[in-house]
């Protein structure tokens, strides 16, 4: 039997039930002459199959009853459904997508009286496998403007999604995202740190992800099946903090009607994370020292010691060594909690992580808010790269969330950012007046930042960038990077 659209000799033949245009540009503008819209009449001199089959993306057209009227070769490959089976079938029966109801792109285009662009969704092919596709849709109208159907363009992005997941896995460690060399060194030792039961001190500015590191250590440790209990020591006064940590017995104070277990009891067999340990008072430091030394504590109002089977992880954004020198922090406690010290760099020293962090936050808020924001505009990324982020990753996340409130779809633009980021400095760089306006400018900024972090030592910089010294030397010369006064390009 000849294939639909071909005669017995394999030549082009009229196709019954086919939407026919006189030129391929009708796909783009969504228009169609009335006299060519013949659902049930044979098309005249139709070479429509050849036109559609030359398109790399899948093209599917439907009529106003959601029946498929044309289906190109790329659509056959993505869905695994032959054209002859697809023509005349309901679109939802062939594509079997998660969006075939209210979220159907053609239906949304009808509601918006326009087009829908690049929605990343999944369809189920003939073998039952899920295929990731980006879908754009537009309406088809006759000369009077009446909607007579729709067209969907589908692009198979399965390989792209697999690559994205591979990159995310490569640069992700228990929800910590980075390809900064100092963070990668931290990733390398975290499994060994987690395997031990020693006390850990995590140091870093506010917003650098100290709690994420503590959770990673707990999740990788033999105690992972037991609780991780988090306590912000800087948020409570001494009396409340003592009761919160160690619990109390009934009658210990006026409102103590019954026994209450403390956080050490709740973390039994697991891990307790004491954040902002540098803010606790000398009296509380003494009690914490006893827990670490003797592995026991007494609840308020109690007369018997309770064994503490708990691993202790602490964190601070303060310089504990300086506090010890000023007699504001007990030296013996400092040594007890500083068995293993992990230092997290601020975001201004790991700006190479900003693009992947932004992508991560965009994907996260798309899931949480059910939006289809595609990312950030180039001008926005330039601005984000120039800012020093005193609030670190927490501030970056909050800035992206702020942008999501104002941006419904498409790209995040400058107008969506918080006001303090739309400062004169960011605007000048984003506008490209005298700062970062091209990919070359971005590369110059990135390499200059790496050189600065390494005190202009080429060898260390080349190792961290993953290139040889000769390549780095050529880039420094071609990009016109000049060491600041007092520095040489050899460190």
End-to-end CA distance of the chain: 77
Closest listed residue to residue 153, CA positions, set 73, 77, 60, 88: 60
Supply the mean pLDDT for the chain: 79
CA 125 to chain centre: 28
Q: What is the pLDDT of residue 432?
A: 45
Range(s) for CATH 3.30.450.20 in the chain? 26-156
Q: What is the pLDDT of residue 280?
A: 92
What is d(CA 23, CA 195) in angstroms, rounded to the nearest whole number?
A: 67
Range(s) for CATH 1.10.8.60 in the chain? 348-479
What is d(CA 77, CA 225) in angstroms, rounded to the nearest whole number?
A: 46
What is d(CA 103, CA 118) in angstroms, rounded to the nearest whole number?
A: 13
User: What top-level class would CATH report for the domain 26-156?
Assistant: alpha beta
E-strand ranges in 263-361 read 271-275, 296-297, 306-307, 311-316, 340-343
Q: What is the pLDDT of residue 273?
A: 96
Helices (H) and strands (E) in the chain, counts: 21, 18
Range(s) for CATH 3.40.50.300 in the chain? 189-345
Q: What is the pLDDT of residue 12?
A: 37
Q: What is the pLDDT of residue 117?
A: 57
Q: What is the pLDDT of residue 123?
A: 80
Beta carbons within 10 angstroms of residue 65's beta carbon: 10
Q: Judge contact between 281 and 234, C-beta under 8 A.
A: no
Q: How many CA atoms lie within 13 A of 196 on its CB side?
A: 11
pLDDT tens-digit series, residues 123-180: 888 887 778 787 878 888 888 778 888 888 888 877 666 666 555 555 667 778 888 8
- In order of 90, 157, 355, the CA distances from 164 in angstroms are 33, 10, 13
User: What top-level class would CATH report for the domain 348-479?
Assistant: mainly alpha
* Ordered alpha helix ranges (H), 407-482: 424-431, 439-453, 458-465, 469-479
What is d(CA 132, CA 482) in angstroms, rounded to the nearest whole number?
A: 46
User: Which positions of the chain have pLDDT values less than 50?
Assistant: 1-45, 430-436
* DSSP-assigned letter for residue 351: G
User: H or E segment at 21?
Assistant: none
Cβ-based burial of 2 (10 A; exposed 0-12, middle 13-18, buried ≥19):
exposed
Model pTM score? 0.59
Q: Is 23 left (phi over 0), alpha (psi -120 to 50) or beta?
A: beta
Q: What is the pLDDT of residue 224?
A: 92
Q: What is the pLDDT of residue 113?
A: 63
Q: What is the pLDDT of residue 401?
A: 95
Q: What is the pLDDT of residue 245?
A: 92
E-strand ranges in 276-350 read 296-297, 306-307, 311-316, 340-343
Q: State whether CATH 1.10.10.10 applies to domain 189-345.
A: no
Q: Tokens at residue 83, please?
A: 């054209």
Beta carbons within 10 angstroms of residue 19's beta carbon: 24
Q: Tokens at residue 179, please?
A: 């390809």
Q: What is the pLDDT of residue 133?
A: 82
pLDDT tens-digit series, residues 391-421: 999 999 999 999 999 998 888 988 899 988 8
What is d(CA 377, CA 368) in angstroms, rounded to the nearest whole number?
A: 21
């Amino acid at each position: 039997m000849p294939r639909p659209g071909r005669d017995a000799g394999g030549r082009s033949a009229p196709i019954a039930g086919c939407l026919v245009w006189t030129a391929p540009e009708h796909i783009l503008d969504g228009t169609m002459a009335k006299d060519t819209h013949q659902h049930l009449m044979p098309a005249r001199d139709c070479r429509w199959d050849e036109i559609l089959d030359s398109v790399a993306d899948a093209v599917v057209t439907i009529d106003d009853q959601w029946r498929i009227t044309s289906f190109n070769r790329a659509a056959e490959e993505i869905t695994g459904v032959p054209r002859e089976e697809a023509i005349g079938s309901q679109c939802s029966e062939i594509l079997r997508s998660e969006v075939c109801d209210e979220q159907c792109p053609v239906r949304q285009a009808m509601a918006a009286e326009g087009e829908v662009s690049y929605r990343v969704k999944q369809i189920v092919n003939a073998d039952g496998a899920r295929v990731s596709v980006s879908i754009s849709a537009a309406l088809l109208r006759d000369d009077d403007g009446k909607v007579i159907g729709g067209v969907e363009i589908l692009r198979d992005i399965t390989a792209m999604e697999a690559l994205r997941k591979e990159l995310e896995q490569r640069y992700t460690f228990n929800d910590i995202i980075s390809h900064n060399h100092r963070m990668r060194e931290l990733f390398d030792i975290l499994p060994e740190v987690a395997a031990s039961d020693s006390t850990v001190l995590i140091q870093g500015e506010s917003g650098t992800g100290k709690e994420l590191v503590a959770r990673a250590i707990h999740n990788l440790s033999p105690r992972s099946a037991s609780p991780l209990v988090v306590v912000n020591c800087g948020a409570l006064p001494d009396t409340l903090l003592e009761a919160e940590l160690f619990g109390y017995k009934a009658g210990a104070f006026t409102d103590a009607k019954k026994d209450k277990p403390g956080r050490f009891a709740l973390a039994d067999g697991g891990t307790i994370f004491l954040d902002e340990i540098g803010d606790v008072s000398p009296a509380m430091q003494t009690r914490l020292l006893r827990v670490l030394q003797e592995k026991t504590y007494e609840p308020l109002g109690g007369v018997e010691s309770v064994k503490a089977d708990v691993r202790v992880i602490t964190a601070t954004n303060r310089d504990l060594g300086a506090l010890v020198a000023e007699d504001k922090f007990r030296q013996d406690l400092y040594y007890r909690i500083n068995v293993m010290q992990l230092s997290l760099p601020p975001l201004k020293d790991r700006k190479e992580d900003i693009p992947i962090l932004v992508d991560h936050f965009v994907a996260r808020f798309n899931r949480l808010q059910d939006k289809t924001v595609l990312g950030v505009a180039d001008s926005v990324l330039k601005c984000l790269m120039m800012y020093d982020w005193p609030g670190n990753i927490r501030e970056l996340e909050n800035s992206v969330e702020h942008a999501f409130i104002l941006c419904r779809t498409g790209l995040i633009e400058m107008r969506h950012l918080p006001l303090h980021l739309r400062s004169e400095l960011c605007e000048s760089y984003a506008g490209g007046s005298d700062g970062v306006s091209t990919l070359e400018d971005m590369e110059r900024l990135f390499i200059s930042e790496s050189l600065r972090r390494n005190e202009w030592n080429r060898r260390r910089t080349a190792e961290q960038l993953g290139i040889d010294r000769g390549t780095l030397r050529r880039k420094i010369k071609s990009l016109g990077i000049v060491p600041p006064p007092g520095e040489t390009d050899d460190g």
